[in-house]
Structure 1
Amino acid sequence: MADVGVRPARRADAGAVADIQVRAWRQGYAGFLPAPVLEQVTSPQALDAWRERWTQAVVAPPSPRHHLLVAVASDLVVGFAAYGPAEDGDLDAATTAELLTLLVDPVHAREGHGSRLLSATVDLLREDGFRTLVSWAFEADDVLRRFLGTAGWAPDGTARDLDMGEPVRQIRLHTDITPEA
């Protein structure tokens, strides 16, 4: 088995993170995002913008509590997770964190990288004093919802519609990450 693990992202990882994001979105979101929107956010121009945004996430995160982790296999970045304090007005950012994204390169799907990323994220959030973790998921994203559901996540009853030329529904999922006594 290849040497696998999770570590904090480095500046040099930003290109791989953006590449994975675009590949994962093209494959995973094609069934429920409007085609023009998906083309726009995965275009070569968008890829350049994502590389810059992920570089900034590493070198100048929005706060000391925002982090970007990467999953590696034999020193190759194969997935990533970004998280920070929850920003929704109905949540307490001191104790509730948001999993902003968790994506694995489709070529390396179903190899345990997503689970390792989620586990490392929860461990680090617990160390930072968070008790609850939320994430927004497209309502039609059965893969992500099933993955998080097997880890104990459930909808919290909050939903929103994103305007993507047509409304695209997202639901907020949550889980308790309080360490067991």
Structure 2
Amino acid sequence: MADADVRVAEPSDAAEIARIQLTTWRTAYAEILPTEVLDNLDAAETEQQWQDAVSHGPVSVMVATESDWTVGFCAAGRTPEQEAAAADGTIPPDVRTTALISTLLVEPRWGRRGHGGRLLGVMAQRLAAGGATRGIAWIPEADEASLAFFHSVGWPPDGTVRTLDAGGRPVRELRLSGGLDLHFRQD
């Protein structure tokens, strides 16, 4: 493999981040999200949202590169209380040190090359350095590849689920949770 790296995203990365998000969603989520939702994703609007996130937060955004290509990205930050709450609404005692991995995507053609693991590993180190002790991620139940990836780092479902409305189609998501001292394993 050519040189692979992870670095903090810069505002100039917003177009590539948006491209990767749209390409990945249209490929990997074609069976999960309705066609009309995927068809109506606007590249310029998505780019502007990532430009704002990279420039102003509140999340940290990292990009994975291979040689001169940007191949994936990860966005994470402090977990809003409602995202960390148990199904009964109880707020966990560690909510202030829980981080939310809001997005972790690697463009499908660059998959299975370790980019996702590097992204999550570097982001976990960054979050831990900022005081976080654990992370959570919401993953569509039908996204078997992402569920298997997070399982490989010791982030199993924690029993909390939610159902989102994706253009009239319900999408059930599982909340995964785990420590930030990651150890990747092969199952």
- Per the normalisation by structure 1, the TM-score is 0.90
Equivalent AA in structure 2 for residue 56 of structure 1:
D
Deviation of the 1:88 alpha carbon: 3.5
Q: Which residue matches 1:177?
A: 180
Q: How many residues align?
A: 173
Q: Which residue matches 1:71?
A: 64
Contact 1:78 1:108 in 2 (8 A): yes
Q: Which residue matches 2:56?
A: 60
Structure 2 residues without counterparts, runs of 5 or longer: 86-91
Identity among equivalent pairs (%):
40
Deviation of the 1:2 alpha carbon: 1.2
Q: Which residue matches 2:89?
A: none
Q: Which residue matches 1:86?
A: 79
Contact 1:126 1:179 in 2 (8 A): no
Deviation of the 1:10 alpha carbon: 0.6
For the residue of structure 2 that corresponds to 1:49, the secondary structure is: helix
1:167 lines up with 2:170 in the alignment? yes
Q: What CA distance in whole angstroms lies between the structure 2 residues aligned with 1:145 and 1:56?
A: 28
Q: Which residue matches 2:18?
A: 18
Q: What is the 5 A alignment of 1:2-13?
A: 2-13=2-13
- Per the normalisation by structure 2, the TM-score is 0.87
Contact 2:153 2:182 in 1 (8 A): no
Q: Which residue matches 2:120?
A: 118
Equivalent AA in structure 1 for residue 72 of structure 2:
G
Q: What CA distance in whole angstroms lies between the structure 1 residues aligned with 2:40 and 2:95?
A: 32
Q: Given the superposition, is the C-alpha separation of residues 84 and 168 from structure 1 closer, same or farther in structure 2, using an over 3 Å criterion?
A: same
Deviation of the 1:56 alpha carbon: 0.6
